[in-house]
Amino acid sequence: MHIEHIAIWTNRLEELRQFYITYFNAVSNEGYHNPVKKFRSYFLSFGNGARLELMQRDGIPDNLNNVADQYIGLIHFAMSVGSREAVDTLTKSLHDAGFQVLDGPRQTGDGYYESVVLDPEGNRIEITC
């Protein structure tokens, strides 16, 4: 058994898709559009492991959570970039491009080397090796 995909609602579908393509080397499908439900989505693949589904539909309310705080429920997903140097480089690239870095890069007590950044919609991504 494995996680097949994780889905994110977004109001900025094309921007979020381009973010993951640009910074995480995602490969996107052609997209799906259901005009009756006013629903659009893309599946993004990262070479192996779970895919990321980006979804947009009229009427989905904004998340009311403060992105800097922690809440019960799904709070982040982790992307492994292969090395400490890659964590450092990607974190710096995201910071320099204006994306918020919440933490790190740092060595955690449980053995991970990671940083935590926010994507354009405020979703937490742990970048780890």
Mean pLDDT of 26-39: 96
pLDDT band per the 50, 70, 90 thresholds, residue 21 = very high
105: left (phi over 0), alpha (psi -120 to 50) or beta: beta
- Tell me how far apart the alpha carbons of residues 116 and 46 are, in angstroms, rounded to a whole number: 19
Instruction: List the structure tokens of 91.
Output: 């974190």
Q: What is the pTM of this model?
A: 0.92
Q: What is the reported pLDDT for 123?
A: 94
Mean pLDDT of 114-129: 96
Model pLDDT for residues 1-12, shown as the tens digit of each residue: 989 999 999 999
C-alpha closest to that of 16 among 119, 104, 107, 90: 119
- Tell me how far apart the alpha carbons of residues 129 and 78 are, in angstroms, rounded to a whole number: 10
